[in-house]
Amino acid sequence: MDLVDQSVFRRQQVSNFRSSGMTAVAWCSVNNMKVSTLRYWLNKFKHESQVDDPGEEIFIEFKHQESATKETPLVVRIGAVSIELYPGFKAETLREAIAAIRSL
């Protein structure tokens, strides 16, 4: 699993925990994770997603040279940021977008 996949996986775990309504101890027991690990990722993602104005949305558009497709995109959400991926997207472009998001 590469770094992008690991980050997406960890964010999904944090999201699953938050939506579970369970305590950290109970959720970690069910999901075979150390409580300290969950707390680390909760804290890490909390700090990454903080912006000066929590209601502010940031939009970065990467234009593709081919005409836009009418297919439904796969939407990847990273904090308050969403990335729409259409069939045929280039992994390198996704890596560049994620790097741009992290630099915000």
Q: Where are the domains of the chain?
A: 3-49, 51-104
pLDDT-derived band at 51 (thresholds 50, 70, 90) equals very low
Q: What pLDDT score was predicted for residue 29?
A: 92
pLDDT band at 1 (very low <50, low <70, confident <90, very high): low
**CA 30, chain centre distance (Å):** 23
Please determine, for residue 2, whether its predicted confidence score (pLDDT) is greater than 70. no
- How would residue 47 be classed by pLDDT, with cut points 50, 70 and 90? low
pLDDT in tens, 57-93: 555 666 555 555 467 778 877 777 778 887 777 888 7
Task: Check residue 85 and give its pLDDT.
Answer: 80
What pLDDT was estimated at residue 30? 92
Under 8 Å between Cβ of 74 and 84: yes
